[in-house]
Amino acid sequence: MRHPILISLCIAGAMGLSACQKDSEAEVERALKDINVIDESNLNDVMLNASDPNEAVAYFSKAATSNPDRIDLRRGLAKALVRAKKPTEAAQVWRTVIASKEGTNDDRVMLADALIRANQWQQAEAELNTIPPTYETYERYRLEAMVADANKKWSKADSFYETAFGLTTKPASVLNNWGYSKLTRGEYSAAEKLFNEALTYDSANFTTKNNLVLSRAAQRKYTMPIIPMTQSERAQLLYTSALSAIKQGDVTIGKSMLEDAVETSPRYFEEAARALEALNSTVVKG
């Protein structure tokens, strides 16, 4: 009589062991899946910042095609296309992201950014207008400021730049853009102030340094600003200031600065040398 009971217990034990094994296998599979997701996320981040943006485009294009329901991969593709200087294609991808159930206001901002890069300002403005005013981010207001600039709505631009400045811990870029806006309006002193402030946050940005020299030269302040600069940068900035001086009729000062630029540059400065030669030729003929 004991045998049936023993057999039943053995069968129950075997079934229990089998169930335990299945549960264990399921847990292992879930763990491996989680690890794969983490690894993939890391790989996605690596590819987004890859030195060759075209490699990132190829990676995300293939991944998005293989996983058409993965919106995160489409976002990665759109960002990679922007880095590869293909904003029109990026905008098309952003539109598919927005059309999905997972589309967000942040995606609309990114679409507007791609449209601006593609020089489609009206479409960018229309896209920004669909975003509720309660959605306040640095990127949104940075783009709003740029659109207002393009429309020459200076008061709105200033307001948006100021808001964007208050929403980021790295305001160098927005301050540079704001300064350039002031420069195009002819508000040279205000532009100079903004460029100087931008350099306090990013002292290595040569574009801002060059803009600063332009704003100073427009005020006939041709001396080099007291900012960090390499020998090569100093030569280039002297060249920028020299051309500005010549355009404003200060030819003698411009010529002196061109000579200084040629002498300062650690390598042969072809553009400055050619400009100096042309200037000397004009003086001789005159």
Whether residue 244 is predicted with pLDDT greater than 50 in this model: the reply is yes
Domain of residue 173, residue span: 148-223
Based on the domain organization, do 112 and 61 belong to the same domain?
A: yes
257 domain-assigned: yes
Q: b or e along 238-251 (b: 16 or more beta carbons within 10 Å of the residue's beta carbon)? A: bbbbbbbbbeeebe
Q: How far apart are the first and last CA of the chain?
A: 128
Across residues 165-176, what is the average pLDDT? 97
Based on the domain organization, do 64 and 123 belong to the same domain?
A: yes
Based on the domain organization, do 48 and 128 belong to the same domain?
A: yes
Domain C-terminal end among 194, 223, 252: 223
Across residues 228-252, what is the average pLDDT? 96
49 domain-assigned: yes
Band (49; pLDDT cuts 50, 70, 90)? confident
Question: What pLDDT was estimated at residue 46?
Answer: 72
Cα separation, 194 vs 216, in Å, equals: 12
Based on the domain organization, do 213 and 267 belong to the same domain?
A: no
156 domain-assigned: yes
Based on the domain organization, do 129 and 153 belong to the same domain?
A: no
Whether residue 282 is predicted with pLDDT greater than 80 in this model: the reply is no
Question: What pLDDT was estimated at residue 119?
Answer: 97
283 domain-assigned: yes
Based on the domain organization, do 88 and 168 belong to the same domain?
A: no
Domain C-terminal end among 173, 189, 223: 223
Nearest to 207 by CA among 175, 231, 159: 175
Domain C-terminal end among 74, 103, 135: 135
Based on the domain organization, do 130 and 50 belong to the same domain?
A: yes
Band (45; pLDDT cuts 50, 70, 90)? confident
pLDDT of 51-100, one tens digit each? 688 999 999 999 999 999 999 999 999 999 999 999 999 999 999 999 99
Based on the domain organization, do 243 and 206 belong to the same domain?
A: no
Based on the domain organization, do 252 and 283 belong to the same domain?
A: yes
125 vs 49, which has greater pLDDT? Answer: 125
Report DSSP letters for the chain, one per residue. Answer: -HHHHHHHHHHHHHHHHHHHHHHHHHHHHHHHHHHHHHHHHHHHHHHHT-SSHHHHHHHHHHHHHH-TT-HHHHHHHHHHHHHTT-HHHHHHHHHHHHHSTT--HHHHHHHHHHHHHTT-HHHHHHHHHTS-TT---HHHHHHHHHHHHHTT-HHHHHHHHHHHHHT-S-THHHHHHHHHHHHHHT-HHHHHHHHHHHHHH-TT-HHHHHHHHHHHHTTT--SPPSS---HHHHHHHHHHHHHHHHHTT-HHHHHHHHHHHHHH-SS--HHHHHHHHHHHHHHHH-
Question: What pLDDT was estimated at residue 44?
Answer: 74
8 domain-assigned: no
Q: Which two tokens stand for residue 205?
A: 């940005």
Give the number of domains in the chain. Answer: 3
1 domain-assigned: no
31 domain-assigned: no
- Confidence (pTM): 0.80
Based on the domain organization, do 126 and 179 belong to the same domain?
A: no
What CATH number corresponds to the domain at position 196?
Answer: 1.25.40.10
Whether residue 180 is predicted with pLDDT greater than 90 in this model: the reply is yes
Based on the domain organization, do 50 and 124 belong to the same domain?
A: yes
Residues 6+ apart with CB under 8 A from 183: 191, 211, 214, 215, 218
What value does the mean pLDDT of the chain take? Answer: 88
Based on the domain organization, do 174 and 250 belong to the same domain?
A: no
Across residues 172-196, what is the average pLDDT? 97
